[in-house]
Amino acid sequence: MKKFQIFFLIAALSVILLTQYKLVMPFVYKVVASDIFLVDSKDKADQLPISNKLTGLAFAHCNNQIKKTLGDDGVNASFPAKPINSWSMGNYRYIINGEVNITDGNNGVKTKKYACRISYKNGESEEGADNFDNWDIEGLSGITP
């Protein structure tokens, strides 16, 4: 029996590799080629920074969330008029990169950069874009209370 252990190991590995090559990978290729993950939207993703009405509103909503995060404990936050950069991730999801000047009574003024990932729920309809309830903040980094 001990003579055949290496043979069984090689045979088992061969069966596993053959199964993956002939059964699993063709199935994976069919799933990837299908439209199962396709999101059809007029808002296309772009690697270059963009600036439009929705990115401006996303910037404003992110700033409001930062003010809520910092609270009212003697901390004052002021923001520039525009973000540093904003990107569309497609399907009305955006990443906003900006900075905030935080004034604390004890420590003076600190400038912090932040990144905010936000999505608009109503899709192509821009009617409720001003309402914060139509947006979801998916992540905020760089700001701690």
For the chain, the domains span 2-33, 53-141
Q: What value does the mean pLDDT take over residues 53-60? A: 89
The string of pLDDT tens digits covering residues 11-33 is 999 999 999 999 999 999 998 88
Name the class of domain 53-141: alpha beta
Q: Which of 120, 78, 74 is nearest to 96 (CA)?
A: 120
Q: What value does the mean pLDDT take over residues 54-69? A: 89
Q: What is the structure's pLDDT at 39?
A: 67
Q: What is the DSSP string of 35-81?
A: STT----SS---SS----HHHHHHHHHHHHHHHHHH-SSSEEEE--S
The pTM assigned to this predicted structure is 0.69
Q: What is the structure's pLDDT at 131?
A: 80
Residue 77: pLDDT band with limits 50, 70, 90: confident
